[in-house]
Amino acid sequence: MKILEPCEAMLSNYEVLAHIQEIKQRYRDQVAEQGPATAMKPGNLETVMKEIIDYLSTTAATAQTPEGAVKLVEELARSPLQFEKIEVLMMLNHLPKNETELDVLIEELESRLSEEQIAEVLDTIRSAARSEADRDTSEG
């Protein structure tokens, strides 16, 4: 084993959840196509996939959509407030609902942003979360 690049990119919770659900779906299709004999997957993989889905289902990632996530990231990254990449990532993962929750994710929030700007950021996040939730219920 050789480690070529320890950290090539960071993934959001949503991307991980989507990837694992995609693998699960592929395995299910395979079983339907070729019979249950091909369904034998390594036990450690089954365990970790189940546990990751269990965990991520309790987070904001469940209700997210690819378009919604991209839109939110673009809006936050484009904003003149100059958020760090990891701050945008954490906002996407947590979707903070109030100022206290946002303050935890952003370093020195109060000195960097005015009260109006904080409200604006929270609004952006809230509208992204809402549009995703709406679509979820209309689809379901």
For binding to other proteins (CB under 8 A), which residues are involved? 1-13, 15-16, 19-20, 23, 38, 41-42, 44-45, 47-49, 51-52, 54-55, 58-59, 86, 90, 93-94, 98, 100-101, 103-105
Angle between helices 13-34 and 66-78 (to 10 degrees): 160
Q: Under a CB-based contact definition with an 8 Å cutoff, are residues 84 and 92 in contact?
A: no
CA distance linking residue 32 with residue 38, whole number of Å: 10
Q: Which is nearer to other proteins, 94 or 135 (CB)?
A: 94
Considering the complex, what minimum distance in angstroms separates the CB of residue 103 from other proteins?
Answer: 5
Considering the complex, what minimum distance in angstroms separates the CB of residue 138 from other proteins?
Answer: 28
Q: Which is nearer to other proteins, 8 or 139 (CB)?
A: 8
Q: Which is nearer to other proteins, 38 or 114 (CB)?
A: 38
Residue 2 in tokens: 């050789």
How long a stretch of residues is the chain?
140
Considering the complex, what minimum distance in angstroms separates the CB of residue 69 from other proteins?
Answer: 14
Considering the complex, what minimum distance in angstroms separates the CB of residue 124 from other proteins?
Answer: 19
Q: Under a CB-based contact definition with an 8 Å cutoff, are residues 71 and 35 in contact?
A: no
Q: Which is nearer to other proteins, 5 or 116 (CB)?
A: 5
Distances (CA, A) of 38 to 25, 31, 45, 96: 14, 6, 15, 43
